Amino acid sequence: MSLVLDNLKKSYREPGGGKIPVLNVARFELKTAEQVALIGSSGGGKTTLLNVIAGITTPDSGRVVIDNIDVTGLNEPSRDRFRAMKIGFVFQTFNLLPAFTALENVLLGMCFAGKGTDSHRATDLLTRVGLGHRLQHRPPQLSVGEQQRVAVARALANHPSLLLADEPTASVDVANQNTILDLIRDACKENNVSLLLVTHAPDVAARFGRIEKLSDFNRP
Ligand X SMILES: Nc1ncnc2c1ncn2[C@@H]1O[C@H](COP(=O)(O)OP(=O)(O)OP(=O)(O)O)[C@@H](O)[C@H]1O
Least Å distance, CB 165 to Mg ion, is 11
Q: Where are the alpha helices (DSSP H) in the chain?
A: 46-54, 76-86, 102-113, 119-128, 144-156, 174-190, 202-205, 214-217
List 47, 105, 123, 147, residue binding Mg ion (CB under 5 A): 47
Q: Please work out the total of residues on this chain that contact ligand X, with binding judged by CB under 6 A.
A: 12
218 contributes a contact to Mg ion by CB under 5 A:
no
For position 92 contacting ligand X by CB under 6 A, the verdict is yes
Site for Mg ion in 86-115 (CB under 5 A): 92
Interacting residue with another protein among 4, 11, 63, 117 (CB under 8 A): 117
Q: Smallest distance from the beta carbon of 151 to ligand X, in angstroms?
A: 15
Provide DSSP, 190-209. HTT-EEEEE-S-HHHHTTSS
**Considering the rule CB under 8 A, would residue 54 count as an interface residue with another protein?**
yes
How far apart (Å, rounded) are the C-alpha atoms in residues 174 and 134? Answer: 21
Examine residue 46 and tell whether it contacts another protein (CB under 8 A).
no
CA 40 to the chain's CA centroid: 16
Among 48, 105, 161, 179, which residue interacts with ligand X (rule: CB under 6 A)?
Answer: 48
Burial of 86-123, coded b for 16+ CB within 10 Å and e otherwise, reads bbbbbbbebebeeeebbbbbbbbbbeebeeebeeebbb
Nearer to another protein, 60 or 80 (CB): 80
Contact 51, 12 (CB under 8 A): no
Q: How far is CA 52 from its chain centroid?
A: 11
Alpha-carbon dihedral sign for residues 180, 92, 112, 12: negative
Complex with another protein: residue 113 or 204, whichever CB lies closer: 113
- Residue closer to another protein by CB (options 142, 205) is 142
The yes or no reply on residue 28 touching another protein (CB under 8 A) is: no
Interface with another protein by CB under 8 A: which residues?
Answer: 51, 54, 56-57, 76-77, 80-81, 83-85, 89, 91, 93, 95-100, 104, 107-113, 117, 154, 158
